[in-house]
Amino acid sequence: MENQTRRKNKDHVWKFIEAMDAAPKQGRVDDPAGGAPDAPSVRFQSVLETYCSKDVEWKIFHPFNSLDGCESAARDFWEDLAEALPDVERRPDIFAGDVYQDEYWVTCLGHLCGTFERSWLGIPPTGRVVSLRIGEFYKVRDEKIVRAHILLDIPDLMRQAGVYPFRPMPAAPGMVPGPKKHNGLRLGEDGPEQKTLDTVLSMHKALHDFDGKDLGSMQHSQCWSEHFLYYAPAGIGTTRGMEQFRAYHQKPFLVSFPDRHGRDHYVRISDGPIACTSHWGTLTATHTGSGWLGLPATGKKLQMRVADWYCADERGLLHENWLMMDILDICMQMGYDVLADFCMKHR
């Protein structure tokens, strides 16, 4: 793909993100001077129809899952979220683009910040500022978004609202920052080198060398800086360095899902020091242990939706890793409806 085409597609998504951020604050779409405000869905739908193809496919973390077209995405997702956080604004920390399997993808990672004034998904409003972590992947063709993935840390919003549904997090909860060097917003040309992604894939390969007994059998420490930060979603929390990473995330996960196996990333891109990979149901595992989230083993075979963003340091080592995982969907497959059990009763 020519550099000019890549740049146009990348710029298109950035303009889309800016337009979506402005949509809740606008008056009438056809009257820039103001007038009676349109419903949020009308404003969002107008933006979506401008930047997306008519048959754009939306994949959104549970409970939204799959939505088709601009009208459905505006009405069933963006509108309700804007009504819950009427002064919402996007705070992006990572924005990167690259070609994968002959398709151009752009990713964005950050937070949606605003005052939580109305219930959303049954989560009770706080009347205070909240930060909802959001990850996005957009496949762009001919300067139109043709596929979108939205990843949300909804359990962390539940934590901020006082209805956190799991056992206390083993690692640190709370606000997740962007890259240390503030170099995650790749608004110019794509980074021509793939060094960060090569390091990520080497690390992934080592993770599959687990002998089932010793975490040290996975020789991936050479891919990480000494004091790397691992920002996992609520339920796990933030860890620093290999010792915390193994104790608070890796061991509980492997004990619960010893046969986990990942295949067929739908996106795998690199842009300068930033790289990211994502599965949508192609990471599978059998829930045979009870270490993860404190949930008892169910013996069920699960399909997981996960994504990782990475930032390398000046030596090319991975210093930061942001994980998003559809924990609510995993729990549904186990037989636990987290939103119904922990939120609806607070209405």
The helix (H) or strand (E) run that includes residue 163 is: none
The tens digit of pLDDT for each residue in 220-270 reads 688 999 999 999 999 999 999 999 999 999 889 988 998 888 888 999 999
Rounded to whole angstroms, the Cα distance separating 29 from 239 reads: 45
- pLDDT at position 263: 85
Rounded to whole angstroms, the Cα distance separating 278 from 283 reads: 9
Asked which of 125-129, 159-163, 192-196, 272-276 is least confident by mean pLDDT, the reply is 192-196
- pLDDT at position 346: 54
- Whether the pLDDT of residue 27 is over 70: the answer is no
The pTM (predicted TM-score) of the whole model is 0.93
- Whether the pLDDT of residue 33 is over 60: the answer is no
- pLDDT at position 210: 57
Go through the domains of the chain in sequence order and give each one's CATH number.
Answer: 3-160 (3.10.450.50), 195-346 (3.10.450.50)
State the average pLDDT for the chain: 91
Average pLDDT over residues 196-213: 80
- Whether the pLDDT of residue 28 is over 80: the answer is no
Strand partners, 132: 112
- pLDDT at position 29: 42
The tens digit of pLDDT for each residue in 281-331 reads 999 999 999 989 999 999 999 999 999 999 999 999 999 999 999 999 999
Q: Which position has the higher pLDDT, 191 or 230?
A: 230
- pLDDT at position 94: 98
- pLDDT at position 286: 96
Band of residue 30 on the pLDDT scale cut at 50, 70, 90: very low
Average pLDDT over residues 67-77: 96
Percent of residues, the chain, with pLDDT higher than 90 = 79
**Secondary structure (3-state) at 188:** coil
**Buried residues in 299-324 as b, exposed as e (16+ CB within 10 A):** eeebebbbbbbbbbbeeeebbbbbbb
Rounded to whole angstroms, the Cα distance separating 308 from 321 reads: 7
Band of residue 213 on the pLDDT scale cut at 50, 70, 90: low
Rounded to whole angstroms, the Cα distance separating 13 from 141 reads: 11
Query: For residue 4, with 0-12 CB atoms within 10 Å meaning exposed, 13-18 middle and 19 or more buried, which class applies?
Result: exposed
